[in-house]
């Protein structure tokens, strides 16, 4: 069923005929092959389960030792026989089989507004946007290359070329008035 939906989506994106080869259509549409997409989602789900709040409903579907103290659901995996679990092939079974050693606290004090680096040290955090024209951009890149030499005790962080509109002035105004966002 998923493959049919995937193929139909590729057909809609490309506007191709029904007789067009599916491999070519998915490539032209820019879609990942379905088995790779499912593998990616599966691997990420194992990681994301560990970041859930202890009372999240999904945790009640796991085994007691992985449920973080949640009350088990009547259809929890712990209450299913091995035969039924092999038929279901739930991705939640892989969470049980692939334990993570990392511990996440979704309600940590450090991630709440007012406790972040930009909130605690607004005078030391600078938001610098790359110039738009080519000449200024070259000068900007040269200054970035020399920044560690000019300021050896400073920490310089950069983001990848994500194009978004961000105006730091409202943030700076709010922080100067003592408000925490």
Structure confidence by residue, pLDDT tens digits, 144-154: 888 878 888 88
For residue 37, tell me if it sits in a domain: no
pLDDT of 97: 67
71 and 101: one domain?
yes
For residue 14, tell me if it sits in a domain: yes
Total domain count, the chain: 3
Q: 46, 72, 45, 44: which is closest to 57 by C-alpha?
A: 72
Find the domain containing 92 and state its range: 42-107
What does the pLDDT look like over 45-104, one tens digit per residue? Answer: 777 877 888 888 888 888 777 777 788 888 887 788 888 877 877 777 777 666 666 777
Q: Is the pLDDT of residue 32 over 70?
A: yes
For residue 13, tell me if it sits in a domain: yes
pLDDT of 131: 82
pLDDT-derived band at 108 (thresholds 50, 70, 90) equals confident
pLDDT-derived band at 160 (thresholds 50, 70, 90) equals low
Report the percent of the chain where pLDDT is more than 90: 0
pLDDT-derived band at 162 (thresholds 50, 70, 90) equals low
pTM to 2 decimal places: 0.44
71 and 51: one domain?
yes
Q: What is the DSSP string of the chain?
A: -HHHHHHHHHHHHHT--TTS-HHHHHHHHTPPPHHHHHHHHHHHHHHHHTTS-TT-GGGGGS-GGGTTTPPPPTT-GGGS-HHHHHHH--HHHHHHHS-------TT-GGGSTTSSHHHH-TTT----PPPSSHHHHHHHHHHHHHHHHH-TTS------S------HHHHHHHHHTT---
122 and 156: one domain?
yes
For residue 100, tell me if it sits in a domain: yes
Backbone angles phi, psi at 73, to 5 degrees: -75, 150
Report the percent of the chain where pLDDT is more than 70: 82
Between the CA of residue 50 and those of 54, 115, 159, what are the distances in Å? Answer: 10, 23, 26
128 and 158: one domain?
yes
141 and 84: one domain?
no
For residue 181, tell me if it sits in a domain: no
171 and 115: one domain?
yes
152 and 167: one domain?
yes
Mean pLDDT rounded to a whole number for the chain: 77
102 and 50: one domain?
yes
For residue 36, tell me if it sits in a domain: no
103 and 116: one domain?
no
pLDDT of 151: 82
For residue 24, tell me if it sits in a domain: yes
For residue 120, tell me if it sits in a domain: yes
């Amino acid at each position: 069923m998923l493959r049919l939906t995937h193929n139909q989506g590729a057909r809609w994106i490309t506007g191709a005929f029904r007789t067009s080869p599916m491999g070519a259509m998915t490539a032209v549409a820019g879609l990942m092959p379905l088995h790779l997409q499912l593998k990616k989602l599966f691997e990420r789900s194992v990681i994301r389960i560990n970041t859930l709040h202890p009372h999240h409903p999904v945790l009640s579907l796991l085994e007691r030792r992985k449920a973080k103290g949640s009350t088990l659901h009547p259809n929890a995996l712990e209450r299913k026989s091995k035969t039924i679990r092999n038929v279901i092939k739930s991705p939640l079974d892989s969470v049980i089989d692939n334990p993570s050693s990392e511990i996440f606290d979704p309600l940590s004090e450090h991630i709440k507004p007012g406790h972040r680096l930009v909130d605690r040290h607004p005078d030391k955090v600078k938001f610098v946007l790359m110039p738009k024209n080519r000449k200024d951009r070259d000068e900007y890149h040269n200054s970035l290359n020399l920044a560690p030499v000019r300021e050896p005790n400073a920490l310089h962080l950069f983001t990848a070329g994500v194009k978004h509109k961000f105006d730091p002035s409202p943030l700076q105004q709010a922080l100067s008035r003592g408000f925490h966002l």
